[in-house]
Structure 1
């Protein structure tokens, strides 16, 4: 099923209503609510953007830099022995999350391209 942005925001609001507070990613993933977290971030431009669209405050945890995200993607590639897909990265449970990397680096493809450039640069030095 293809969900609209509005349906994604309604699901996030359902989670807020059920929990009594804006959910963390892990809390949302633990609920039996559709669409999935990945669909929400895809349709809404990220988890934080979805919360902001509902006028919810986002409690910020650890702040990650672009370098943190790129190093984590490189770590995932080393573990997997290949360039990680978004889903493969998420299954590894590496921090920062794939969603955080998206928010900081742009699309998943852009993040992987930046990581590849960084890796090539290190090899060339």
Structure 2
């Protein structure tokens, strides 16, 4: 079963990070990706550009509506994701607990509606 981890954090938490801080964070995430790959559960990941670069589009009203930024006005924003393929939610939660994003923000776990690989 495929699960996507949606990684949420407060961008203010990263405002004062130095180049060394960023390098350390990349190392931690690199180790996490390595562990996922070694376990054979890694499918995909991406780190998203800051929320200020987002564009939200809707056709709900019958015509195109475009909004700069995210649709939701919240302090925490979606910063990236991981997709893994594991047997069940319990295993997915175990991997989510190991995700570095869980220590500073939140990891939303969503099962794929299309199943596994």
Q: Same fold (TM over 0.5)?
A: no
TM-score band w.r.t. shorter chain? under 0.3
Normalising by the residue count of structure 2, what TM-score does the alignment of the two structures yield?
Answer: 0.28
More strand, by proportion = 2
